[in-house]
Amino acid sequence: MKKTNKSGFTLAEMLCALAIVGILTALALTVMKPAEKSAMKYLYMNAYTALEKAFYNATIDGCEPFSDLPDEDGNSPVHSETQDTGTKNLCEGLTTYINTTSNVKTDEDDFADSCSDTKLADIKGDDFSSDAVRNNIQFTATNGMEFYISKRLHSVEHGFYFYLVFVDINGKKAPNSLEYTYKGGKEADDYDESDPDEREQKYKDRIEPDIFAFALLDTGKICPIGIAEYDSNILTARFAYFKSNGEILYTKKSMAYYQAKGAAWGYYNAGGPDLDTYNEDEPFTMNDVIRNAIKQESSESVLVKDFPDLESLEPVTTATESPYFCSNDDMESCYIFLDRYSQG
């Protein structure tokens, strides 16, 4: 008779294999947890870059959300508390260059036909999880990011207009917040900062925000506003100057956002930045001018919480040589740019 040899796994071998799989799964979960912040960086920069490119191209195409002049049909634009035709125009311009899933693009106009002039994001930004606010989503990108647009805002002191665009970088997923939130529904004040264990627990319980704000200016430029700009755990920055001919001059050194502000406004010696003498309570850049305008509109906005009174502040020392100086007479000459994060 012909013998047939069959092979298989014993019970002991199967148990060993399951144990190994369990260990690898546990290790994978452990490794993935710290990577959340890294993922947040990439998502944030995707939103920042997409907005910057879309706004630039929409402006070239003639998108005019800031205009007070009648359109080609003779209709006068509306910029009020409850309606802003510029918001709709801006939405249409952005969705020409940002692919969306929520809005249908028309063959004739090639932009989303469901952009609305009455969907105005609440610039207080304190409750993006509420149905009332979430009903004001202007469009959702194909990657799931959700975009809100405010009414037109005005910096009276410096004479320019801007819109705030809020981006929920992970869409419908929690926490849907501009601020840090905490596990178990806790508030920051629920932790006793004087207790080392409480401080450590507060850090462990902290949940990163997933909604970020950007100011789109009538000059065609975009400024990041919000938590990510000053959280060195999320992003670093460089400062830059716009020369009179429009050319931009970047600094090469990356640093924490507020350190970049200090360098830009001459808080360091002209010979080079001394980070030990930096005064983080005295920020001066275009980004802060925008935040000051938001404060005049809504002092309860999350974006201006604990924001200092700019009128009471002056640079400590003014450097005499570029690139360590920004002009007080021309706020727009100096910007803080967030570093791009890329793979590899």
Greater confidence, 85 or 110?
85
Q: Which residues contact 43 (CB under 8 A, 6 or more apart)?
A: 145, 169, 170
Residue 118 pLDDT greater than 90, yes or no: yes
Spatial contact of 152 and 79, defined as CB atoms under 8 Å apart: yes
Residue 281 pLDDT greater than 50, yes or no: no
Greater confidence, 243 or 331?
243
Strands laid side by side in the 237-242 sheet: 248-250, 237-242, 334-338
Per-domain boundaries in the chain: 38-173+210-225, 236-344
Q: What is the pLDDT of residues 25-51, one digit of tens each?
A: 554 443 333 446 667 888 888 899 899
Sequence letter at residue 258: Y
**Mean local confidence (pLDDT), 105-109:** 56
Spatial contact of 145 and 173, defined as CB atoms under 8 Å apart: no
Q: Which of 4-18, 135-149, 191-205 has the highest mean pLDDT?
A: 135-149
What are the CA-CA distances from residue 234 to residues 40, 41, 203, 316 (Å)?
Answer: 7, 6, 15, 28
Q: What is the dihedral of CA 260, 262, 264, 267, to 10 degrees?
A: -150
Spatial contact of 102 and 114, defined as CB atoms under 8 Å apart: yes
Q: Is 28 helix (H, G, I), strand (E, B) or coil?
A: helix
